[in-house]
Amino acid sequence: MIINNIIILGLFLKLRLLTYFARVGNTLDYLCESVSLSKGFGSNVSTNSETLSKFFSRTAPLLPCLRTQSLHGPSPVTTFGPKACMLKNPKAVMHIQDPASQRLTWNKPPKSVLIIKKIRDTSLLQPFKELCIFLTQQKNMIVYMERKVIEDPAIANESFVSIKKNICTFREDYDDISNCVDFIICLGGDGTLLYASSLFQESVPPVMAFHLGSLGFLTPFNFDTFQSQVTQVIEGNAAIILRSRLEVKVVKEYRENGSVEEMSLVTNGNKTMQYQVLNEVVVDRGPSSYLSNVDLFLDGHLITTVQGDGVIVSTPTGSTAYAVAAGATMIHPNVPAIMITPICPHSLSFRPIVVPAGVELKIMLSRDARNTAWVSLDGRKRQEIAYGDSITITTSCFPVPSICFRDPVNDWFESLAQCLHWNVRKKQDHLSSEEEEF
């Protein structure tokens, strides 16, 4: 009798536990459905506040610096520009997607393209003309370009005047073309891709980069067969790689004689400037002869003080740029990470480190620093960092979808071999039979 009562009591407790976990599971499912991304990765998240308060009241409180967005992989509803998106993979069973399976598709046929040409390079005039004529006359597309490009006297000839009706111009920092461009074509080196990234501070259209510059680590396409390659992209199903960016917020204390810069927002007397960075954020000592002395925080905790020429905070894409020259390792762009690399540190034990992509980094001038610091973002927007200013760095929710020549893995190793001559060495000779005996 006692045994039967124990069995009945156990079944009753098991039923109550199953009921409880079912309710919690339903709440979690609802939260996952409520936290949706409506445009790109970084749109505002709308949730049911009452459900959130009831659920989180039974759980441990989250730290204020922790972010709730998952960075394991792209959301199925992510869009790149007004018409491009990621092709769904029905065989995917994990959040971490195989890079080779990432494909581009179009919600609607693309009708507009932005062409970015390396300025003051006369060798690009003929390829630029051929591409514009092909897109406007054969593909009937609207071509966007900078006003200073179309005003170049070298391209103002009869063959180019005939297609000007399908060309639209814009001015950097004045005109917003984020909802007008379906995809981007870059003619030049890696700098053209960095410039294209800076033009779009939120969702970025797919970028197709042709190698017409000096290095070309990020430009996998040759211009010889541009017609077939561009046609394949327009038809869709091209391989893409999502290059993560850094969201950088530079907060400066209010100063009476301080000037207001672009992309600035004044809150609580402080001026905040926000940028999207593809390669790296560099904090250095500037023109001063003293060591830089800046504090580095991770999720609100002080992890170290950088004493040296400076520090580089880079994306995986930027790991093969300034960071690798400073002694950092090279990371594939599909790896979700942030790299921290000191520049000539005055410490033999300060080595480059890799931290998860979901953390928040903050850099501030140390209290006992002898001089101010300087920050540059992808080699641009250089500005001074004084006492009380701060630089907050997180992984951006707006990556750069870069179109691949083959696939993300093969293209990356091809660039390592061709551009950086990775592991180039004369092969060791084979031993003869007589030498093997010794």
* Residue pair 286/383 in contact by the 8 Å Cβ criterion: no
Assigned domain for 227 exists: yes
> Mean pLDDT over residues 105-133, rounded?
90
One domain for residues 212 and 282? no
Range with lowest mean pLDDT among 251-260, 323-332, 345-354: 251-260
Nearest to 323 by CA among 286, 354, 346, 302: 354
pLDDT digit string (tens) for 254-302? Answer: 765 555 444 455 555 578 899 999 999 999 999 999 999 999 999 999 9
Tens digits of residue pLDDT in 126-160: 899 899 999 999 999 999 998 888 877 767 665 66
Each residue's pLDDT tens digit, 219-244: 999 999 999 999 999 998 899 999 99
Active site residues: 190
Q: Which residues sit opposite 304 in a β-bridge?
A: 296
Q: Which of 346, 256, 353, 271 is closest to 309 using CA atoms?
A: 346
Q: Please give the tally of structural domains in the chain.
A: 2
Range of the domain at 276: 246-395
| Residues 411 and 332 both lie in one domain | no
Q: Which of 173, 132, 180, 137 has its CA nearest to residue 152?
A: 132
CA neighbor of 208 nearest in space, from 198, 193, 224: 193
Residues 370 and 406 placed together within one structural domain of the fold: no
Is there a single domain that holds both residue 388 and residue 288?
yes
Confidence of residue 19 (pLDDT cuts 50, 70, 90): low
- The model's confidence at residue 166, banded by pLDDT at 50, 70 and 90, is confident
Asked whether residue 277 falls in the same domain as residue 384, the answer is: yes
Cα–Cα distance list, 199 to 277, 379, 400 (Å): 11, 15, 11
If asked whether residues 139 and 181 sit together in one domain, one would say: yes
Q: Which of 265-269, 317-321, 379-383 has the lowest mean pLDDT?
A: 265-269
pLDDT value at position 54? Answer: 44
- 362 and 413 co-located in one domain: no
Residues 145 and 156 in one domain: yes
Position 156 scores a pLDDT of 63
**How does pLDDT run across 30-54, given as a tens digit for each residue?**
333 333 333 343 333 333 444 444 4
* 376 plus 407 within the same structural domain: no
Residue 97 lies in a domain: no
User: Does 420 score more than 80 pLDDT?
Assistant: yes
List the beta bridge partners of residue 280: 314
Note whether 250 and 239 are same-domain residues.
Answer: no
CA dist., res. 269 & res. 381, Å (int): 22
Same domain flag for 259 and 151: no
Same domain assignment for residues 281 and 408: no
CA distances for 234 relative to 111, 149, 223, 253, angstroms = 9, 24, 16, 47
Which CATH number goes with the domain that contains 109?
A: 3.40.50.10330
- Whether residue 42 lies inside any domain: the answer is no
Report pLDDT digits (tens) over 58-72.
Answer: 444 444 545 544 454
Please report, for the domain that includes residue 387, its CATH number.
2.60.200.30
User: Residue 352 is encoded by which pair of tokens?
Assistant: 């480059």
Percentage with pLDDT > 90 across the chain: 56
**Residue at 38 is within a domain:** no
Give the sheet arrangement for strand 79-80, strand by strand: 79-80, 84-86, 104-106
* Local structure of 110: helix, strand or coil: coil
> What pLDDT is stored for residue 269 in this prediction?
56
Q: Give the pLDDT mean for 406-425.
A: 93
- Residues contacting 202, CB < 8 A, separation 6+: 39, 40, 42, 178, 276, 398
Token pair recorded at residue 415: 């660039």
The reply to whether 88 falls in a domain is: no
Q: In terms of DSSP bridges, do strands 280-284 and 142-146 run parallel, antiparallel, or are they unpaired?
A: unpaired
DSSP 258-269: PPPPTTEEEETT
pLDDT of residue 47: 37
Please say if the pLDDT value at position 245 is more than 90.
yes
Round the average pLDDT of the chain to a whole number and report it.
Answer: 81
Residue 241: what pLDDT? 94
